[in-house]
Structure 1
Amino acid sequence: MSNFLYLFRGGDENFNQLSQEEKQAHMQVWGEWMGGLKEKGHLLDGLPLGADGRVVHNRGELVTNGPFAEGAEVVGGYLIVSAKDMDEAVEISKGCPIFDYEGSNVEVREIHSMDGH
């Protein structure tokens, strides 16, 4: 088994247009999806990210405000999942509720250890 990072991009504009009740219902869908991953032993960690942030350049010589890309490219959250390989990690990501909003995507990246194993 390997660990994979899911970076969730986009969807905020469409999500923000929902009513409060629709937002709560959608967050429940996220909770159910993540709960299912946890039950199957896939979910290791993950949370939404705040909209504000900073980018540090050149050892702090320049610090700029976020967001860091156009709306469809802003990273809004992450998960760390365990899967047997990249194919399984991609397959698991296909059930992500972020796909309820057009233009959203999940970037799937394998996490490597610092010792090269």
Structure 2
Amino acid sequence: MPAIRDFFDRLVTVRCTGKFAGWGCLVSNAHLEQPAGEAQAVLDNHQASLRDALQSALTTAGGLGQLGPGLDLSATAEHFTLLAYAINLRSRAGAQPQALRAAINAALAPVSRTP
């Protein structure tokens, strides 16, 4: 779970601070265009890669006893993937890092096993 939390923390930091804060997200913008053919395949591959990486991290977290019982890892990975896309969009619209981090905490809390 620390790796997943770190991923989201870094995403918020990149999207909300520094020279390029608030810039568009090519992947999110491209999804809105509903492309076909090769462009759609690239977008689908990007989402699948992100989801698979998150599912792998969740599998590791489960093995380390960091997850609550009965968790659907596939659905949770998809949920976290959607959260990453939402952070990209909301940060572009000027959402404050504190609000984004509160949403991340709300998504991670029910998944994580409380030590």
Using structure 1 for the length normalisation, give the TM-score.
0.34
Q: Where is the helix percentage greater, Structure 1 or Structure 2?
A: 2
RCO comparison, higher one (Cα < 8 Å, 6+): 1
State the structure with more CA Rg.
1
Name whichever structure is richer in strand by fraction. Answer: 1
